[in-house]
Amino acid sequence: MTTTSLAHRATAVAARASDLSKVYGLGETQVVALDRVSVDFRQGEFTAIMGPSGSGKSTLMHCVAGLDSFSSGSVQLGETELSTLKDKQLTQLRRDKIGFIFQAFNLLPTLTALENITLPMDIAGRKPDKQWLDQVISMIGLADRLGHRPTQLSGGQQQRVAVARALASQPEIIFGDEPTGNLDSRSGAEVLGFLRNSVRELGQTVVMVTHDPAAASYADRVIFLADGRIVDEMLHPSADGVLDRMKAFDAKGRTS
């Protein structure tokens, strides 16, 4: 790969929000969940989104991922403007271009781990790239559990299957909404390690909403929201650094 292409990859944008606003209700009951937010999520980067409850962090992720509509502004996934898409096109975009990992594992209990991993591609009528699939399965360390159903797996193993499912279709970007929220600290660390490795080893792009400073420390950068706006950003975060930043926001909120 040339120096020019490396530089391009480092600055290429997987998803972009521009002046993004999301408003619920009218008049006195109006709630501004997002207030003219502009942010880029760069390719091959792991970004964590943090903020106090009600800050708009999940709303931002859902709007950028095409899971929720927005009131004004724009969202681009690659070169595609989401606001121009009809429902069917948006569904296809989510299926073909985006991977999702949620706090609930969302595995089908009647399917094996491998069948759960390949399910989105099966629905789309696409065959998985065997070499890529083998690489993903090797990375998450579940090669000996592929024939087991979810009830035969621990919570951490189930979430690893969900991570593999998100990675298997080689999406342009993966969104995680509190993906370790239902896991103990050890299992959560394993899953976060897999996500970080998917960025470093596979060139994946990951955007994760979390309230946990330890989880955020696995990311390349953290963006902080408060009252529907981005108020800060931290590169190469540490758990202690993120915790201190969150405490500062809490203190400011109490005194304002």
Residue 251's pLDDT is what? Answer: 64
Mean local confidence (pLDDT), 98-120: 92
Mean local confidence (pLDDT), 184-206: 89
Task: Give pLDDT tens digits for 21-72.
Answer: 999 988 788 889 999 999 999 999 999 999 988 899 999 999 999 999 999 9
Q: 204, 192 in Cβ contact below 8 A?
A: no
Contacts of 10 (CB under 8 A, 6+ apart): 42, 44
**Domain architecture of the chain: domains with CATH:** 44-54+91-255 (3.40.50.300)
CA neighbor of 13 nearest in space, from 57, 60, 45: 45
Per the rule left: phi > 0, alpha: psi between -120 and 50, beta: everything else, 64 is alpha
Torsion, Cα of 172, 177, 178, 179 (10° steps): -50
Q: What is the pTM of this model?
A: 0.87
Q: 36, 212 in Cβ contact below 8 A?
A: no
Residue 7's pLDDT is what? Answer: 40
Residue type, 50: M
Measured CA to CA, the distance from residue 205 to residue 48 in angstroms comes to 11
User: What confidence tier does 232 reach under pLDDT thresholds 50, 70, 90?
Assistant: very high
Between strands 173-177 and 98-102, the pairing is parallel
Residue 236's DSSP bridge partners are none
Measured CA to CA, the distance from residue 82 to residue 76 in angstroms comes to 6
Task: Give pLDDT tens digits for 112-150.
Answer: 999 999 998 888 888 888 888 988 888 888 889 999 999
Measured CA to CA, the distance from residue 213 to residue 193 in angstroms comes to 15
